[in-house]
Amino acid sequence: MKIDLKNIRVRDLVEGYEDNDELGVRAYGDKLDVRPPYQREFVYKDKQRNAVIETLRRGFPLNVMYWAVRHDGTFEVIDGQQRTISICQYVEGDFSIPIDGHRLAFHNLQQDQREQILDYELMVYICEGTDSEKLEWFKTINIAGEELTDQELRNAVYHGVWVSAAKKYFSKNNCPAHAIASNYMTGSHIRQDYLETAIKWINNGDVDGYMAKHQHDASAEALWLYFQDVMKWVKTTFPKWRKEMRPVQWGFLYNEFKNADLNPTELEAEISRLMQDEDVTKKSGIYIYVLNREERHLSIRSFTDNHKREAYERQKGICPVCKKHFELTEMEADHITPWHAGGPTIPANCKMLCKNDNRRKGGV
């Protein structure tokens, strides 16, 4: 890759700045694509954004940026999108920063202060190379301290029409996926968590496989329709919302149980009861348990060391199954009356089995 250093004034960078959901982000007299298809969304917090402007205002050096030359002679940002957008937004008057006890937008500054910012020279490395080389640069450069997520890297590797279409559904600010699913998911949609999760669900966890197969598709509508079906199923099957629903991997449950004959009223009654059960320590696992009946999802409260010692002394170290004597460290606690049959995790319901018998029982 050929690399040349060039100084770009802020006044030239912000010329023709436009942020359009359909057309993307443009600047530098419409010659710079600030957000190519493989780039992330704007993720800077106010503190980071303000620090960029303060750096310019004080004339301090800002980290170098990287632009790539396109075949038509225009440029695209490889590294520096967050800083570029912060600068353009400030000059456009989109936000203000604290200065000497006041919050001042660009138009609030004195003329000489505005000119100082506009004349600030950014250090930009202009890079010429193949598409593969540009992607390698994008993957390896740490962008302003914000480490790329796995999905942001995948978007770079499989960039194209499909990724751009998918991001409109799952990654943009105020995107449709966030509107219908924010109460049922964790993570940040603008950091690609929603997109990554949706692909995992539709393709049984194989995100790369799905993106490789659909990279050149003209539309991401199939993924979006699937995602909508998942959310409709969740809201119909579990109409009462609880915060414990956010960590649940709903797509996998939908894939397995979408055609099952489920009674939302009966499910809610059981969920409510389990939510009140102090032995259930992982409340989000309740939604999985009521469908597949696997207790491991509930993280049932364990007997304490004192409970185990009391039961061991009560049994005089004898395993009730094989009738042999063992040391305490050679035994494991078990419910006398199983938890699923109503047996609580209390000392009176604790028995000690030798490890072989306890694990044999668990494997039956």
> What residue spans define the domains of the chain?
1-146, 240-298, 305-363
Strands ordered across the beta sheet of 2-9: 2-9, 121-128, 65-69, 75-79, 32-33, 24-27, 18-20
Confidence bin at 364 (pLDDT 50/70/90): very low
CATH for 305-363, options being 1.10.30.50, 1.10.150.530, 3.30.1330.30, 2.40.110.10: 1.10.30.50
Q: What contacts 164, CB < 8 A, 6 or more positions away?
A: 37
- pLDDT at residue 20 in the model: 77
The two tokens of residue 34 are 């600030």
Give CA–CA dist 305/176, Å, rounded. Answer: 50
Q: Given CA atoms 193, 194, 199, 204 in this order, what sign does their dihedral have?
A: positive
- In DSSP terms, 331 is beta-bridged to 354
pLDDT (0 to 100) of residue 190: 85
What are 5-63's pLDDT values in tens digits?
899 999 999 999 998 765 678 999 999 999 875 566 667 788 999 999 999 999 999 98
pTM tops 0.85: no
> In the block, which residue shows the tokens 């659909």?
214
**Model pLDDT for residues 295-352, shown as the tens digit of each residue:** 889 988 889 999 999 999 999 999 999 999 999 999 999 999 988 888 999 999 999 9
- Cα 98 to Cα 44, 56, 105, 324, distances in angstroms: 17, 14, 9, 75
pLDDT > 90 fraction of the chain, expressed in percent and rounded:
67
Give the CA diameter of the chain: 92
Tell me if 154 sits within 8 A of 207, measured CB to CB.
yes
- Which residue's structure tokens are 């209390």? 346
Distance CA 103, CA 120 (A): 21
Burial class (CB in 10 A: 0-12, 13-18, 19+), 246: middle
- The average pLDDT across 173-190 equals 93
**pLDDT score, position 363:** 44
Instruction: Give the model's pLDDT for residue 244.
Output: 96
CA distances from 91 to 11, 48, 77, 96 (A): 9, 16, 19, 10
Predicted confidence at residue 37, as pLDDT, reads: 59
Cα 194 → chain centroid: 6
